[in-house]
Each structure stands twice: as C-alpha cells, then as structure tokens.
Amino acid sequence: MAGALALRIGKRPTELLRISESPLEDLLLDAAIIAQVTAEQEEPGSLKEEIKRKRRRLWAKKCQLEKLEYS
C-alpha cells in the first residue's frame, strides 16, 4: 500500500514508512517495493471486469456526444 501511494505522490516508500537504514539498503528496499507494486498493477483483471470497463467508457463517450449535440 505504501508503494502504490509513493508512486502516486512521488515519494520514496521508505520515506512514507519512515524506515531509515543505510542509503544503499533504502534504495534496495524502495526498488523491491516498487517492483512488487508495478507487478500487481500489470496483472490483468477478469474478463467480466474488462467488459464492464469497456461499457462504462462507451457510455461516457455516448453521454459526451449527446451533451455536445444539445449544446
């Protein structure tokens, strides 16, 4: 969780967790945490979730087009 938050706000995970070892150990720990977070984010979701996301995008696009037509 700290790794994902760190990526979003641009800080090091060890800073958020207030872990302070040697600079090299901090760097290695940051790299491990960020690698784990990026691996989790790359995992594909289920097909059902993919279909839901696609339908939401299409619905949002349709609503935007309708707004433009009535404006």
- Whole-number pLDDT of residue 39: 82
CB of 50 closer than 8 Å to CB of 23: no
- Whole-number pLDDT of residue 71: 62
- The rounded distance, in Å, linking the Cα atoms of 45 and 17 is 29
Output the six-digit token pair for 7: 């990526």
CB of 26 closer than 8 Å to CB of 19: yes
- C-beta contacts of 61-69 below 8 A and 24+ residues apart: none
CA atoms within 13 A of residue 39's CA, in its CB half-sphere: 6
pLDDT tens-digit profile of 8-54? 888 888 888 888 889 999 999 999 999 988 888 777 778 888 889 89
- This prediction has a pTM of 0.53
pLDDT tens-digit profile of 46-60? 888 888 989 999 998
